[in-house]
Amino acid sequence: MTGIDAELADEQHVVDRLYGRLDDLRAETRSRLADVRRQGPSGSPQNRSERDAFATLYENRVAQLEAVEERLVFGRLDLTDGSRRYIGRLGLTDEERTSLLTDWRAPAAQAFYRATAAHPDDVVRRRHVVTRGRTVTGVEDELLDLDSATDVGMLTGEGALLATLAEGRTGRMGDIVATIQAEQDAIIRSELGGALVVQGGPGTGKTAVALHRAAYLLYAHRRTLERSGVLLVGPSRTFLRYIDQVLPSLGETGVVTSTVAELVPGVEAIGSEPDEVAEIKGRALWADLIARAVRQRERVPAEPVRVRVDGRTVVVRPGDVASAIARARRNHRPHNLARVAFVRDMLGRLAEQYVRQLAFDVPPDERGEIVEDLRSHRDIRVALNLAWMPLTPQKLLADLYAKPWRLEAAAPDLTPRERELLRRDPDAPFTPADVPLLDEAAELLGEDDQAQRAQAKADADRRASELEYARQVLQQTGSAPYVSAEMLADRFAGTGPTLTTAERAASDRTWTYGHVVVDEAQELSPMAWRALLRRVPTRSLTIVGDVAQTTASAGARSWRAQLDPLLRSSWRLAELTVNYRTPATVAETARRVAVAAGLPVSPLTSARDVPDALVTERVPADAVVAAAVRRASKAVDEVRDESGAGRVAVIAVRASLDAIDAALREDGLVAARAGTGVVDLDASLVLLAPDEAKGLEFDAVVLLEPADVLAGGAGDLYVAMTRPTHALHVLHAAPLPDGWAA
Ligand SMILES: Nc1ncnc2c1ncn2[C@@H]1O[C@H](COP(=O)(O)OP(=O)(O)OP(=O)(O)O)[C@@H](O)[C@H]1O
């Protein structure tokens, strides 16, 4: 056996043992699950719910143990004291509780990502163990000894990293646990508190880092975050699908994912509108505008309203309404809740008028029946509603858009043209930019929640007793490391469906999360930020993005300008500087074009280059589409491999997509498209507008007419050019944008 063969055989031995232990744990947990299930549907309700709770606990554990099959172990640290430590997707111990495998998130694993020759952190050797299935196929060593011959370069585990980067894309993002780089690790393990902004050029791993950070925080702060939950906000459903396998592969399934458009449960924002209109709706002035619109629904009538009740007359007097409004506003409750006080006050005044007309006195505490008669009188109801209308957020906003006089009264800061742009039918569907406005309105309107409050009190009492019981069960069974009393109590809650924290959080508009991760955060408008920050009062946030890639007019061009007004300078900035996606030639060209267009681009070094990564082809204007079809067809053949990996995107301005689609079909090629829904990322060919390509990546990209894309926005072109991992084919009739040539 040669030296390397012997090394591989030794590692295979270790890897076999680890998988053996994993198999044992799986079998053990499955058998416990089977035992619990075997007990059948008998016993007291308490026994049954306890059994269900344990069944869920074991099911989750089985799922977690299944999820770590691929690359269970990927690293080894040889330490100065002669000991070895294996690093993997989760922690494993043997029957005697001796550590066999260290979870990549544990403090003991940090050196695997951070140790350098200058700061070896007790590590003499870092080894990347490469496996395929359960077989060790390679090892790669770095000696962290200044005197050693091995030079540790810019990248950690360079061979393993470059091999990963060269793999064909599958349409789904994978995890990077085996090859996280030091600058990325520092961000992933950054403390939980406060707002952390991660700025980095395209392909620097911002999304990957954000997801691994979520997994890290759930591990390091499980007790805090298990109950409050973590929210991950992405730019589109397609993007959320693109990343949806990463957290499960890291053993974490409890993160709520959402776009800004989905933040308000019950609202489906399926409408679309020009970017220009979305920009207006994103402005911070809507906070005041909506507050004003709500106040304008609390209105003193110009004239007294006389109402006949059982032969007597009561008068809804402007003066009384004004004073009842002023009093109801005093306790600063939301509109629909303060309305209860207003109505009570007005009915008291009307009852007083009514009693004065009787031949006898009725003391105030005996006027209940009179008050109820007045309350149910149609004309009084109408008069009080006109003064203080109960409103839903949808009604408030739809009225503002549909009734020009309402918008004019509420929005003196908008120009007549801007107000005209906002005009729409009262029953037109809401758009994504409406959602933060509906959320703002919901905050100011509140719900008429008397029944809800009574229910909440009953729920809270029941919950307290369930929690106490769950604590006792945990003490008796010793299951504390896997589950908290709160989680167990949730599952004990015998009535209704047993919901996880994530499920409860996702269905509750007013839920506040323990941490919020925002990806492509540069796209968020000031109003979208307000809606998000409402969901994380602790301001524990990870904000990742690139202000050079902004495509929405309402988005940010500078973090300071965007975040200072919201977070009062209390945010910290980290930068990522190495591009892992795009070949250097393509990345540098994209960067020059972006600089020439005046974008605030971040410094960027590329991890690798690929021969012939950038091909530009000039064709006559009427031949661009045909050339694109030819090129796309060739690219699909070139990138596809036997495993089904290999993805190609054609990117062009929105106005040309239909023509390209038709031409592709004529040629027998079907491309997946976004339309209004989710792009089928399993397709080997997709057709996208530049903003739809945001955050995604493909082996090859066929880009049409960069000058047209640039005309739509420099950020659009920067995004489009930086999507490929191997090749960018550019087809153009118009001259290439400034900065293209080196
Ligand atoms: N340390 C790493 N090891 C292996 N692959 C990595 C690493 N860091 C990033 N990558 C890969 O580089 C590609 C780009 O990463 P990612 O999408 O997270 O970048 P990004 O900064 O969010 O890009 P963009 O701003 O363009 O959306 C992905 O395929 C990702 O898996």
Q: Tokens in use for 719? A: 């995004």
**Which has more pLDDT, 528 or 48?**
528
Query: Which residue is closest in CA terms to ligand 1's atom 16?
Result: 205
**Tell me: the pLDDT tens digits for 55-94?**
888 888 888 899 899 999 999 999 999 999 999 999 999 9
Query: Reading across the β-sheet that carries 571-576, which strands appear in turn?
Result: 255-258, 230-233, 515-518, 541-545, 195-200, 571-576
Which of 117-126, 478-487, 553-562 comes out lowest in average pLDDT?
Answer: 478-487
**Which letter does DSSP use for residue 135 in this model?**
E
- Please check the confidence at residue 136 and state whether its pLDDT lies above 50: yes
What would the 3-class secondary structure string for 570-600 be?
CEEEEEECEECCCCHHHHHHHHHHHHHCCCC
Q: Tokens in use for 705? A: 């007419």
pLDDT the model gives residue 721:
98
The confidence band for 152, taking pLDDT boundaries of 50, 70 and 90, is: very low
Cα-Cα end-to-end distance for the chain: 51
- Please check the confidence at residue 694 and state whether its pLDDT lies above 60: yes
**Which has more pLDDT, 331 or 278?**
278
Which of 34-38, 255-259, 365-369, 586-590 comes out lowest in average pLDDT?
Answer: 34-38
Q: Which of 104, 161, 162, 165 to mutate to test the pocket of ligand 1 (most atoms within 8 A of CB)?
A: 165
The confidence band for 170, taking pLDDT boundaries of 50, 70 and 90, is: confident
Return the closest-CA partner of residue 397 out of 450, 339, 444, 329.
Answer: 444
Q: Find the length of the chain.
A: 742
Containing 91, the helix (H) or strand (E) segment is none
**Tell me: the pLDDT tens digits for 460-477?**
767 776 777 666 656 555
Q: Which whole number is the average pLDDT over 331-335?
A: 93
pLDDT the model gives residue 162:
87
What is d(CA 196, CA 129) in angstroms, rounded to the nearest whole number? 32
CA dihedral 478, 484, 490, 491 (to 10 degrees): -40
**Tell me: the pLDDT tens digits for 405-456?**
999 999 999 999 999 999 999 999 999 999 999 999 999 999 755 445 555 6
Residues with CB under 6 A from ligand 1: 161, 164-165, 176, 179-181, 184, 200, 202-208, 546, 549, 580-581, 695, 697, 722
Q: State the sign of the Cα–Cα–Cα–Cα dihedral 579, 585, 586, 591.
A: positive
Return the closest-CA partner of residue 165 out of 156, 153, 176.
Answer: 176
The reply, when asked if residue 550 is annotated as ligand binding, is: no
Provide φ and ψ at 143, rounded to 5°: -95, 120
Task: Tell me: ipTM over 0.90.
Answer: yes
Q: Report the atom number in ligand 1 closest to the C-alpha of 208.
A: 18
pLDDT the model gives residue 149:
45
Please report how the helices 368-375 and 335-356 are oriented relative to each other, as an axis angle in degrees rounded to 10.
120
The confidence band for 1, taking pLDDT boundaries of 50, 70 and 90, is: low
The reply, when asked if residue 200 is annotated as ligand binding, is: yes
How big is the CA angle at 242 (ends 236 and 246), to the nearest 5 degrees?
Answer: 120
Helix runs in 535-653, H state only: 559-567, 584-596, 624-639
What is d(CA 731, CA 709) in angstroms, rounded to the nearest whole number? 12
Query: Which residue is closest in CA terms to ligand 1's atom 24?
Result: 202
Task: Give the count of beta carbons closer than 10 Å to the beta carbon of residue 323.
Answer: 15
Hey, which of 32-36, 264-268, 639-643, 696-700 has the most confident mean pLDDT?
696-700
Task: Give the count of beta carbons closer than 10 Å to the beta carbon of residue 429.
Answer: 13
Residue found under tokens 């955050």: 695
pLDDT the model gives residue 451:
47
What is d(CA 500, CA 511) in angstroms, rounded to the nearest whole number? 13
202 CA to middle of ligand 1, Å? Answer: 8
169 CA to middle of ligand 1, Å? Answer: 12
What is d(CA 135, CA 541) in angstroms, rounded to the nearest whole number? 40
Q: Which of 187, 697, 728 to mutate to test the pocket of ligand 1 (most atoms within 8 A of CB)?
A: 697
548 CA to middle of ligand 1, Å? Answer: 17
What is d(CA 490, CA 740) in angstroms, rounded to the nearest whole number? 58
Q: Report the atom number in ligand 1 closest to the C-alpha of 580.
A: 12
Residues 6+ apart with CB under 8 A from 238: 674, 678, 679, 681, 692, 696
Round the average pLDDT of the chain to a whole number and report it.
90
The reply, when asked if residue 156 is annotated as ligand binding, is: no
Residues 6+ apart with CB under 8 A from 226: 218, 254, 484, 486, 487, 501
Task: Give the count of beta carbons closer than 10 Å to the beta carbon of residue 479.
Answer: 15
What is d(CA 703, CA 582) in angstroms, rounded to the nearest whole number? 14
Task: Confirm if 210 and 198 have CB atoms less than 8 A apart.
Answer: yes
pLDDT the model gives residue 148:
56
- Please check the confidence at residue 478 and state whether its pLDDT lies above 60: no
Query: Which residue is closest in CA terms to ligand 1's atom 27?
Result: 695
pTM: 0.88
Residue found under tokens 């250097």: 584
The confidence band for 742, taking pLDDT boundaries of 50, 70 and 90, is: confident
pLDDT the model gives residue 59:
87
The reply, when asked if residue 20 is annotated as ligand binding, is: no
- Please check the confidence at residue 497 and state whether its pLDDT lies above 50: no
pLDDT the model gives residue 496:
43
Q: Which whole number is the average pLDDT over 98-104?
A: 96
Task: Confirm if 545 and 523 have CB atoms less than 8 A apart.
Answer: yes
The reply, when asked if residue 206 is annotated as ligand binding, is: yes
Q: Which whole number is the average pLDDT over 160-164?
A: 86
Q: Which whole number is the average pLDDT over 154-160?
A: 79
214 CA to middle of ligand 1, Å? Answer: 16
pLDDT the model gives residue 493:
58
The confidence band for 494, taking pLDDT boundaries of 50, 70 and 90, is: very low
Query: Which residue is closest in CA terms to ligand 1's atom 13?
Result: 581
Query: Which residue is closest in CA terms to ligand 1's atom 9?
Result: 205
pLDDT the model gives residue 73:
97
641 CA to middle of ligand 1, Å? Answer: 21
Return the closest-CA partner of residue 124 out of 152, 104, 90.
Answer: 152
**Tell me: the pLDDT tens digits for 658-692?**
999 999 999 998 899 987 678 888 899 999 999 99
Return the closest-CA partner of residue 631 out of 704, 696, 684, 736.
Answer: 704
Instruction: Please report, rounded to a whole number, the percentage of residues in the chain having pLDDT higher than 70.
Output: 91
Q: Which whole number is the average pLDDT over 296-322?
A: 95
203 CA to middle of ligand 1, Å? Answer: 5
300 CA to middle of ligand 1, Å? Answer: 59
The confidence band for 718, taking pLDDT boundaries of 50, 70 and 90, is: very high
Q: Which of 112, 581, 610, 692 to mutate to test the pocket of ligand 1 (most atoms within 8 A of CB)?
A: 581
The reply, when asked if residue 725 is annotated as ligand binding, is: no
Which of 499-508, 523-532, 628-637 comes out lowest in average pLDDT?
Answer: 499-508
186 CA to middle of ligand 1, Å? Answer: 16
Ramachandran area for residue 599 (φ above 0: left; ψ -120 to 50: alpha; else beta) = beta
Q: Which whole number is the average pLDDT over 483-508?
A: 67
Residue found under tokens 């990870």: 542
pLDDT the model gives residue 54:
82
182 CA to middle of ligand 1, Å? Answer: 14
